[in-house]
Amino acid sequence: MKEKLTLMIPGPTPVPERVLHAISKHPIGHRSPEFQEIVEKTTILLKWLHQTTSDVLTITGSGTAAMEAGIINTLSKGDRVICGENGKFGQRWVKIAKTYGLDVITVKANWGEPLNPKKFQQILKNDPTIRAVIITHSETSTGVINNLEEISTYVKAHNNAIMIADCVTSIGACNVPMDKWGIDVIASGSQKGFMIPPGLSFVAMSEKAWEANKRSDLPRFYLDLNAYKKAVDKHSNPFTPSINLYFGLQEAMTMMKEEGLDSIFRRHEKHKNAIQTSMKSIGLDLFAQQGFGSPSITSIIPKNIDAEEIRKSVKNDFDILLAGGQDHLKGNIFRIGHLGFINDRDILTVIAAIETTLDKLGVASKPIGTGIETASKILNAIN
Amino acid sequence: MKEKLTLMIPGPTPVPERVLHAISKHPIGHRSPEFQEIVEKTTILLKWLHQTTSDVLTITGSGTAAMEAGIINTLSKGDRVICGENGKFGQRWVKIAKTYGLDVITVKANWGEPLNPKKFQQILKNDPTIRAVIITHSETSTGVINNLEEISTYVKAHNNAIMIADCVTSIGACNVPMDKWGIDVIASGSQKGFMIPPGLSFVAMSEKAWEANKRSDLPRFYLDLNAYKKAVDKHSNPFTPSINLYFGLQEAMTMMKEEGLDSIFRRHEKHKNAIQTSMKSIGLDLFAQQGFGSPSITSIIPKNIDAEEIRKSVKNDFDILLAGGQDHLKGNIFRIGHLGFINDRDILTVIAAIETTLDKLGVASKPIGTGIETASKILNAIN
């Protein structure tokens, strides 16, 4: 039976019924007082989620639009920046930065390993001309979480540099206290922890980021954050926004507020642990280095079989969509997204489906049920 | 009673129930074969609507994003271009062009009057260095339609220039045969004739536009149309698209195909005539010069009263949202959007509401019913 799809990819993530109902309402005028109220309320909730008193701006576009906006609104051609690169989204940062003529120093780590914060510290110490450090917090392509907190500390100590982070698959999944950690620009997208369909993205800008904005001379129009700032101060948008996704944003953020930040983070942590431990218990390896698994995505290395075969079989038999490996990882890993609107039942379901599939494909090394037993202990210990 | 809103602004326009149902479905993976099928089908339908064999690319963003994409993918810093300016969206073209350092020659007309095509012809004749002519087809701020067909002829005769047009409120409302007229770039947005909520926009690119693209050196990433072209050839998107609005796009384009281009254009022409003639019959003036009324928006000059009073009263008593005048026109005109999912009943409704409101506010100069009588004759003559 088809038509009963469950998404367990890193995005789009499952959308609650409340949100689907909200986005199916007839649009209203985006210059009306009723819409201004939605902009005002969602902006307050976005600041709450980012744990910041700074601006959080909503763009109609994908997470990449938010990433690009973060760069082109704070930097100038020729500016020297450090980009962290340990996966596909780190590579995207480098590409965007080079597109705009920035002078990019790349700090790399192998895919599956975290960035070494000390390398950033060292470069920053010796080079007062650095204008920005740009990294991916949760690297969606590998399932690795980078130490944004520590790297931010070194950036904070530097006079000129700002900290720009892609938090697309970390915000709404784990603790990202923007003000406390001193992050200056956070880019994210709606189809992740926000639990709404893709089409909106968010850029948070600290005071230091706005200071950098004053000297930034890169050309921009649709992604000119000054226009968004001017508009949001009047509870409005510079251009016609995705009105129906705004309806969804309001509903989803209300649900997040009801659950509470701590509960959201605990739930993701529990699910990450359940997935990681159960996968290891059935003899599969994790791609991310121990201790650096993302709260949102777990990358798994199957043995004696192409990862795509498992992924296709799980999709075909159980209509659960898992993600494959990207680029050179294709066939080597599959990825489970456990981000956003995911409950314990979803975790048990995906583990049971994977166990059943490994058995069907003749590559199970443990009795079926081993993974479920492992996961259930973690779920029961915390519930 | 509130909560029974009818939109008669130039956008967002009313959305059919079929489309609202489509967008409220649970998202699917944007890299799945199921989604590729949607991209393939909607792309074919978009080409049909644009009457072109060239590429029509779908961007997650507003119409302004499509406008900007049209410029930054075909031109280079210092390029000399002619911008037509006879309203707010003409001004926006000039702003975008200047943001990217283009050398802009502005051809102006008073707001309410159309651009004079001969002025474009003259400049093009004497200046072989012109790289583009950039105009707004239907100027949403004034309700004027410019003669894109004639202006395109002069651009076609020029060796270097391409024709870039904002067709945001003309495509899907009146005939815009891209290939026949020789338009090179068409920008449009979803919340207009497309009958879906805002959040998607479209850029059509002719062969000549792609030729221009090869020498264009303006920086771009999210709006890099080469990335969209490369992706769409594989029925995909370069970045995560607004999946749910794509569901709506497919449904709305299917409805448009069912109705047929000629019927759509005839319906808009009839409604324009009914609104124009009825408004004149009750003693109101039209803002757009005779013969140059947009098929989508009619701007009306009330007498002896602030236009905003009428607009607010119509909203308050009948929950019909009309648009006000922008900038210096605020209070001088109100605008009726009759674009997209509008039937004869909507036309009668808005006329009756306006007549009733003028009477209530003590500024009716004709007996109530005069406007309805006038409109009914036009509707009956064509139905």
User: For residue B280, what is the domain's CATH number?
Assistant: 3.90.1150.10
Distance (Å) from the alpha carbon of B99 to chain A's nearest alpha carbon: 6
Residue B48 maps to a domain: yes
Residues B216 and B322 grouped into a single domain: no
Instruction: Collapse the DSSP code of B349 into the 3-class scheme (helix H, G, I; strand E, B; otherwise coil) and give the result.
Output: helix
Q: Cβ of A236: how many Cβ atoms within 10 Å?
A: 16
Q: Between chains, do A242 and B25 touch, taking CB under 8 Å as contact?
A: no
Residues B152 and B285 grouped into a single domain: no
Q: Between chains, do B15 and A26 touch, taking CB under 8 Å as contact?
A: yes
Residues A149 and A106 grouped into a single domain: yes
Residue B5 maps to a domain: no
Closest CA relative to residue A93, chosen from A224, A185, A9, A200: A185
Q: Between chains, do A60 and B63 touch, taking CB under 8 Å as contact?
A: no
Contact with chain B for residue A11, Cβ under 8 A:
yes
Residues A37 and A164 grouped into a single domain: yes
Q: Between chains, do A245 and B240 touch, taking CB under 8 Å as contact?
A: no
Residue B292 maps to a domain: yes
Residues B52 and B35 grouped into a single domain: yes
Q: Decide which of A258, A290, A319 is a domain's last residue.
A: A258
In sequence order, what are the residues at sequence separation of 6 or more whose Cβ sits closer than 8 angstroms to the Cβ of residue A45? A250, A253, A254, A256, A257
Q: Which residue of B has its CA nearest to A25?
A: B20
Instruction: Collapse the DSSP code of A159 into the 3-class scheme (helix H, G, I; strand E, B; otherwise coil) and give the result.
Output: coil
Cα–Cα distance between B297 and B281 in angstroms, integer? Answer: 18
Give the pLDDT score at B249.
98
Give the pLDDT score at B164.
98
Cα–Cα distance between B349 and A285 in angstroms, integer? Answer: 66
Q: Which residues pair with B285 in a beta bridge?
A: B301
Q: Cβ of B258: how many Cβ atoms within 10 Å?
A: 8
ipTM above 0.90, yes or no: yes
Q: Between chains, do B198 and A240 touch, taking CB under 8 Å as contact?
A: yes
Distance (Å) from the alpha carbon of B6 to chain A's nearest alpha carbon: 9
Contact with chain B for residue A58, Cβ under 8 A:
no
Q: Which amino acid is at A119?
A: K
In sequence order, what are the residues at sequence separation of 6 or more whose Cβ sits closer than 8 angstroms to the Cβ of residue B14? A26, B6, B7, B195, B340, B341, B342, B346
Contact with chain B for residue A367, Cβ under 8 A:
no
Q: How many domains does chain B have?
A: 2
Strands A200-205 and A285-286, how do they pair? unpaired
Contact with chain A for residue B15, Cβ under 8 A:
yes
Contact with chain A for residue B244, Cβ under 8 A:
yes
Distance (Å) from the alpha carbon of A154 to chain B's nearest alpha carbon: 29
Which chain B residues are within 8 Å of A222, Cβ to Cβ? 61-62, 64-65, 68, 223
Residue A283 maps to a domain: yes
Q: Does the bond joining A197 to the residue before it have cis omega, within 30 degrees of 0? A: no
Q: Between chains, do B239 and A321 touch, taking CB under 8 Å as contact?
A: no
Instruction: Collapse the DSSP code of A337 into the 3-class scheme (helix H, G, I; strand E, B; otherwise coil) and give the result.
Output: strand
Which chain A residues are within 8 Å of B15, Cβ to Cβ? 26-27
- Cα torsion B6, B8, B12, B15: sign: positive
Residues B193 and B92 grouped into a single domain: yes
Distance (Å) from the alpha carbon of B24 to chain A's nearest alpha carbon: 5
Q: What angle do CA A355, A357, A360 make, to 5 degrees?
A: 115
Residues A151 and A242 grouped into a single domain: yes
Low-confidence stretches of chain B (pLDDT < 50) are none
Cα–Cα distance between B185 and B189 in angstroms, integer? Answer: 14
Which chain B residues are within 8 Å of A18, Cβ to Cβ? none
Q: Decide which of A214, A239, A258 is a domain's last residue.
A: A258
Closest CA relative to residue A349, chosen from A6, A4, A15, A14: A6
Contact with chain A for residue B21, Cβ under 8 A:
yes
- Cα torsion B24, B26, B27, B32: sign: negative
Q: To probe the interface with A, which of B26, B226, B322 has the most A CB atoms within 10 Å?
A: B26
* Cβ proximity of B146 and B137 under 8 Å: yes
Show the tokens assigned to A94. Answer: 């480098």
Q: Between chains, do B29 and A223 touch, taking CB under 8 Å as contact?
A: no
Residues B57 and B32 grouped into a single domain: yes
Residue A130 maps to a domain: yes
Show the tokens assigned to A173. Answer: 């999944």
Q: Between chains, do A221 and B24 touch, taking CB under 8 Å as contact?
A: no
Which of the 8 DSSP states describes residue B27? P
Q: What is the pLDDT of residues A106-145, one digit of tens each?
A: 999 999 999 999 999 999 999 999 999 999 999 999 999 9
* Cβ proximity of A355 and A320 under 8 Å: no
Beta strand extents in chain B (DSSP E only)? 6-7, 55-60, 80-85, 103-108, 130-136, 138-139, 144-145, 162-166, 185-189, 200-205, 285-286, 297-301, 320-321, 323-324, 334-337
Which chain A residues are within 8 Å of B95, Cβ to Cβ? 221
**C-alpha to C-alpha distances, A376 to A232, A334, B64, nearest whole angstrom:** 46, 22, 51
Cα–Cα distance between A88 and B31 in angstroms, integer? Answer: 16
Residue A10 maps to a domain: no
Quote the crossing angle between the two packed helices B307-318 and B344-360, to the nearest 10°. 120
Residues A331 and A354 grouped into a single domain: yes
In chain A, pLDDT over 90 holds for what percent of residues? 98
Q: Cβ of B210: how many Cβ atoms within 10 Å?
A: 17
Which chain B residues are within 8 Å of A322, Cβ to Cβ? none
Which residue range forms the structural domain that includes residue A148?
A: 17-258
Give the pLDDT score at A383.
65
A382 has pLDDT over 90: no
Residues B264 and B333 grouped into a single domain: yes
Q: What angle do CA B103, A228, B228 make, to 5 degrees?
A: 65
Show the tokens assigned to B245. Answer: 């609005």
Give the pLDDT score at B383.
65
Q: Which amino acid is at B359?
A: D
Measure CA of the first residue to CA of the last residue in chain B; give whole Å.
Answer: 32
Residue A84, domain CATH: 3.40.640.10
Contact with chain A for residue B321, Cβ under 8 A:
yes
Q: Decide which of B214, B234, B258 is a domain's last residue.
A: B258
Residues B235 and B281 grouped into a single domain: no
Contact with chain A for residue B221, Cβ under 8 A:
yes
Residue B7 maps to a domain: no
Give the mean model confidence (pLDDT) for residues A329-345. 98
In sequence order, what are the residues at sequence separation of 6 or more whose Cβ sits closer than 8 angstroms to the Cβ of residue A347? A271, A274, A275, A338, A375, A379
Closest CA relative to residue B267, chosen from B165, B166, B345: B345
Residue A279 maps to a domain: yes
Residues A148 and A214 grouped into a single domain: yes
